[in-house]
Chain A
Amino acid sequence: MVQIYTLGEHAVVLQVGSSINMETHERVMAYTRAIQAANFPWVIELVPAYNSVTVYYSIPTILQIAKTDCIATWVTNILLGLSLDFSNNKQANKKIIEIPACYDTALGVDIIYLSEQLQLGVDKIIDIHSDRLYTVYMLGFLPGFPYMGSVDERIQHPRKKHPSKQVIAGSIGIAGAQTGIYPLQSPGGWQIIARTPLAIFDLGKESPCLFAAGDQVRFVPISLERFYEIEKENQA
């Protein structure tokens, strides 16, 4: 039940499901791996998302190797012919990243509001949010911004109606069933419950983004003191 759509004349979108869930995500990752493993010279890049993988391709490269009336159809046929391998989806093969998170109200600026809205104590929100392993479904919005799920129903809350003008880098937020981390200072609408002292995006690094789609993330609560210590260590 894969559907393929064109996105301009240099990309096709493989839609592998209709909603956000683990099964769809595993299909997305299986397609991503299969296309990467095939090592097609004409693939420029892949963009995995919640329920789709977008494949950007080079028309000049395809012209060199194929004689076809319609390049998009040629690409579609090849992608549909790929065999998928789900074995890599096993829990043991996934990278787990621990993220120190300070839920102090000074940094988690919306946690008191959320506590009132959800009628849950701040400590309970912290326990629930840091109790599970999240999956990075995709990156987008900002360089390195991870869309992670799924958040426990008890602490789900919609985005702000009026986004904040400046959300500080490292801020950890909730939007519905998703949780995410702002890699850069930016306007944003997610409910901010904590902040990490780690650099989620680091220009100076060869791989500037901490996360990739498919990674697993656990939040480890830390004190405000510890937050500033780690921040200081990172600056040194």
Chain B
Amino acid sequence: MSISIIKSKPGCTIQDEGRFGFQALGINPTGVMDLHAMHIANALLGNVLSEAVIEFIFPAPVFYFHRNTFISLSGADFGATINDKAIPINRPVFIPAETTLHFTKKIHGNFGYLAVQSGFSLHDWLGSYSTHKKVGAGGLHGEDLQTGDIIYFRNEQKNYVQEDVVVMPWQADVSDFYSSLIYCTVAPESIITNNQSNHWWKDQYFTILPNSDRMGYRLSGGNFEKIDATEITSSAVTRGTIQLPPNKLPIVLMADHQTTGGYARIANVCASSFSSFAQQVFNTPFMMEMIAVKEAEKKWIEQYHHLQILQQACTLRIKEQFHAY
């Protein structure tokens, strides 16, 4: 039971939630850019939410399924097709043996995810399957997936024999997981006063510049003239930390961020907004808003509970579905 890459493209890696517990050693966690998408893709299949997935950008690789496979796609919509038949995202799909999966066009988002039922069979590095390209570890072989790579599955797939593609009757409503407004909280070097001129985000449109990647997104827009950008004594940074270097061109740290940094940390994109931010199409305007940490916690907990409900509902549907066969 396996999937093959029959035509590779750059930027396609195996990722999970990330490698935690080693940041004190300078080992950065990496992990998926869009955690919600990874969790949703796994929930749809009845997998453990933290099961490793394949992350890809557009243009995406061409995948080949050797045997009947139960998959789900989530995150970006790149117009997936099997035998010229369109495959939706956020729904589980049964893929018959000896078929290829293509991605035809960029409809929305930056990072797509492919999960398979039961997950991939991989060797971990320090407890995680996330590909860490800098040290060449994790994933299948520590780098982008290549043409000819074969990734095996953990277990046999559910016995569900069909000749053609079948889109399963359940789906994930992802509307609570994404929003166009990006929420942030204060960070250690935030200068928060009642003076509105220091509200760098207020009534401003932002865009993400194209020279952005898994390490950091470069922001354009925002009122940063009055914000202090003095360099600091190196200290920890995390996902979503907005750094303001002395040149006042802000960088938002993404999945491949370093563990520490010396630029002023002026805010942090909320974990509940991070997926939306990661999927924000470059050069397209959006707005940001500062909220209290208490509010940010509330938003995150709501999504966390929503995800658990989704997982329970999907597990029930899978039981029903396969009981019938």
> Which residues of A come within 8 Å of B, CB atoms?
5-11, 13, 15, 18-20, 44-52, 54, 56, 59-60, 63, 69-73, 138-145, 147, 183-184, 201, 203, 208-209, 212-213
C-alpha gap A8/B185 in the complex (Å): 6
Judging by beta carbons under 8 Å apart, are A203 and B260 in contact? no
Please report the number of residue pairs spanning A and B whose Cβ atoms sit closer than 8 angstroms: 142
Q: A5-B187, A47-B259 are in contact. Are A54 and B235 (CB under 8 A)?
A: yes
> Which residues of B come within 8 Å of A, CB atoms?
20-28, 125-126, 134-137, 185-188, 233-241, 258-261, 265, 268-271, 293-294, 296-297, 300-301, 304
Judging by beta carbons under 8 Å apart, are B24 and A212 in contact? yes
C-alpha gap A48/B24 in the complex (Å): 6
A87 to chain B, nearest CB (A): 21
C-alpha gap A112/B302 in the complex (Å): 60
Give the nearest-CB partner of A32 in chain B: B24
Which of B27, B28, B233, B293: most chain A CB closer than 10 A?
A: B233
Checking B28, B186, B237, B259 against A6 with a beta-carbon cut-off of 8 angstroms, the contacting residue is: B186
12 more A-B residue pairs beyond the given contacts A50-B235, A54-B235, with a C-beta to C-beta distance below 8 A = A7-B188, A8-B239, A8-B241, A8-B296, A9-B293, A45-B22, A72-B297, A140-B258, A142-B26, A144-B27, A209-B26, A212-B24
A-B contacts, 11 of them at CB < 8 A, read A5-B186, A7-B241, A10-B271, A45-B21, A47-B24, A50-B235, A52-B235, A59-B297, A139-B259, A140-B258, A143-B134
For residue A73, which residues in chain B have a CB less than 8 angstroms away from its CB? 294
For residue B240, which residues in chain A have a CB less than 8 angstroms away from its CB? 8
Judging by beta carbons under 8 Å apart, are B234 and A140 in contact? yes
Judging by beta carbons under 8 Å apart, are B235 and A51 in contact? yes
C-alpha gap A122/B20 in the complex (Å): 42
C-alpha gap A184/B234 in the complex (Å): 20
B184 to chain A, nearest CB (A): 9
For residue B25, which residues in chain A have a CB less than 8 angstroms away from its CB? 139, 143-144, 208-209, 212
Q: A141-B26, A142-B26 are in contact. Are A13 and B258 (CB under 8 A)?
A: no
For residue B259, which residues in chain A have a CB less than 8 angstroms away from its CB? 47, 139-140
For residue A46, which residues in chain B have a CB less than 8 angstroms away from its CB? 24
Give the nearest-CB partner of A72 in chain B: B293
Which of B186, B187, B188, B268: most chain A CB closer than 10 A?
A: B188
For residue A139, which residues in chain B have a CB less than 8 angstroms away from its CB? 24-26, 259
For residue A141, which residues in chain B have a CB less than 8 angstroms away from its CB? 26, 258, 260
Interchain residue pairs A-B with the least CB separation, the first 4: A140-B260, A54-B236, A5-B188, A139-B26
B92 to chain A, nearest CB (A): 25
Give the nearest-CB partner of A63 in chain B: B301
For residue A54, which residues in chain B have a CB less than 8 angstroms away from its CB? 235-236, 238
Judging by beta carbons under 8 Å apart, are B260 and A47 in contact? yes
Give the nearest-CB partner of B268 in chain A: A8
Give the nearest-CB partner of A52 in chain B: B235
Q: A13-B235, A45-B22, A203-B135 are in contact. Are A143 and B241 (CB under 8 A)?
A: no
C-alpha gap A51/B296 in the complex (Å): 27
C-alpha gap A60/B232 in the complex (Å): 32
Judging by beta carbons under 8 Å apart, are B21 and A44 in contact? yes
B291 to chain A, nearest CB (A): 10
Judging by beta carbons under 8 Å apart, are A70 and B297 in contact? yes
For residue B237, which residues in chain A have a CB less than 8 angstroms away from its CB? 7
For residue B26, which residues in chain A have a CB less than 8 angstroms away from its CB? 139-145, 183, 209
C-alpha gap A143/B259 in the complex (Å): 9
Judging by beta carbons under 8 Å apart, are A45 and B134 in contact? no
Judging by beta carbons under 8 Å apart, are A209 and B125 in contact? no
Give the nearest-CB partner of B291 in chain A: A9
C-alpha gap A56/B238 in the complex (Å): 10
For residue B296, which residues in chain A have a CB less than 8 angstroms away from its CB? 8-9
C-alpha gap A5/B192 in the complex (Å): 13
Q: A47-B236, A70-B293, A144-B25 are in contact. Are A6 and B187 (CB under 8 A)?
A: yes
For residue A213, which residues in chain B have a CB less than 8 angstroms away from its CB? 24
Give the nearest-CB partner of A54 in chain B: B236
Judging by beta carbons under 8 Å apart, are A203 and B125 in contact? yes
For residue B185, which residues in chain A have a CB less than 8 angstroms away from its CB? 6, 8-9
Judging by beta carbons under 8 Å apart, are A203 and B265 in contact? no
For residue B241, which residues in chain A have a CB less than 8 angstroms away from its CB? 7-8
Judging by beta carbons under 8 Å apart, are A52 and B258 in contact? no
Checking A9, A63, A144 against B270 with a beta-carbon cut-off of 8 angstroms, the contacting residue is: A9
Give the nearest-CB partner of B267 in chain A: A8
For residue B293, which residues in chain A have a CB less than 8 angstroms away from its CB? 6, 9, 70, 72
